[in-house]
């Protein structure tokens, strides 16, 4: 499974990239707004740090508007993947963009039927928002399982990009199901790396190292 970082914060992205565990980046307008910086400046910086797919989201909701924004974003860098909302106008735009060779990440997917349509429209990635489903007492992982099964049943090439991840168990479950990508917040990436027994073991080794006589 590929791991993307779900962030627009360049320091977080640099930190995770330095660990060598990042295959790509996803952003959204809420994450960009948190940085307090202009959208395109943020994208330029990210493209310099990570050599992999970088999702940048449109804010138009009509076909022409989505297409215009998408083409402009795609022109910025070969690694840009245009994030398009899973609405009817978005699907129309995805179909056109796919014909033009522009990669898309169809976002805000909350049902298997939405995911099936996104794949038929030619989406490169589809993003089920699992944490938000869990938030309203649903089962986000069930949607991931359904999408992986549907795409496999029909040889659809759209990749399942698990989004709205909140904790390490989401990452484990996504990888056991066979999702293609998990996009993971910076904090959760660090949680994935940590284990209390590693910390305790390291503390002991360092303490014992001090007892070794110098040569």
Least distance (Å) from ligand G3P to the CB of residue 153? 26
Structure tokens at 62: 């009509």
In the block, tokens 């796919």 appear at 98
Question: Which one of 88-96, 129-137, 172-180, 198-206 is the stretch in contact with ligand G3P (CB under 6 A)?
Answer: 129-137
Please select the residue that binds ligand G3P; options are 104, 146, 158, 183, rule is CB under 6 A: 183
* 166 burial level (CB within 10 Å; 0-12, 13-18, 19+): middle
Please tell me the distance from the alpha carbon of residue 165 to that of residue 184, in angstroms, as a whole number: 6
- Should residue 163 be labelled a site residue for ligand G3P when binding is judged by CB under 6 A? yes
Helices (H), the chain: 10-18, 29-35, 39-49, 63-76, 88-99, 112-121, 130-135, 140-154, 168-177, 186-193, 196-209
Catalytic residue among 34, 40, 75, 83: 83
- Should residue 52 be labelled a site residue for ligand G3P when binding is judged by CB under 6 A? no
* 210 is annotated as an active-site residue: no
- Should residue 7 be labelled a site residue for ligand G3P when binding is judged by CB under 6 A? no
Please select the residue that binds ligand G3P; options are 24, 26, 125, 128, rule is CB under 6 A: 26
- Should residue 167 be labelled a site residue for ligand G3P when binding is judged by CB under 6 A? no
- Closer Cβ to ligand G3P, 29 or 65, answer by number: 29
Structure tokens at 201: 């073991």
Least distance (Å) from ligand G3P to the CB of residue 103? 16
Please tell me the distance from the alpha carbon of residue 24 to that of residue 3, in angstroms, as a whole number: 7
CA distances from 89 to 93, 123, 149, 155 (A): 6, 13, 26, 25
Please select the residue that binds ligand G3P; options are 124, 164, 173, 177, rule is CB under 6 A: 164
Residues in contact with ligand G3P by the rule CB under 6 A: 6, 26, 28, 129, 131-132, 163-164, 183
């Amino acid at each position: 499974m590929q791991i993307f970082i779900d962030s627009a914060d360049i320091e977080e992205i640099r930190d995770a990239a330095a660990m060598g565990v990042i295959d790509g980046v996803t952003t959204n307008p809420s994450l960009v707004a948190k940085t307090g910086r202009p959208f395109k400046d943020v994208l330029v910086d990210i493209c310099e740090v990570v050599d992999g797919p970088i999702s940048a989201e449109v804010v138009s909701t009509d076909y022409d508007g989505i297409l215009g924004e998408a083409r402009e974003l795609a022109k910025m860098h070969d690694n840009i993947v245009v994030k398009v909302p899973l609405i009817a106008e978005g699907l129309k735009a995805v179909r056109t963009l796919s014909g033009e060779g522009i990669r898309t990440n169809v976002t805000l997917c909350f049902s298997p039927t939405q995911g099936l349509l996104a794949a038929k429209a030619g989406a490169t990635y589809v993003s089920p928002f699992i944490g938000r489903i869990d938030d309203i007492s649903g089962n986000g992982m069930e949607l991931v399982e359904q999408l992986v099964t549907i795409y496999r049943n029909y040889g659809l090439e759209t990749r399942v990009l698990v989004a709205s991840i909140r904790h390490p168990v989401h990452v484990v479950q996504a990888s056991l199901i066979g999702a293609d990508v998990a996009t993971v917040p910076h904090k959760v990436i660090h949680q994935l790396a940590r284990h209390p027994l590693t910390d305790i073991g390291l503390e002991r080794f360092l303490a014992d190292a001090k007892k070794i006589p110098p040569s």
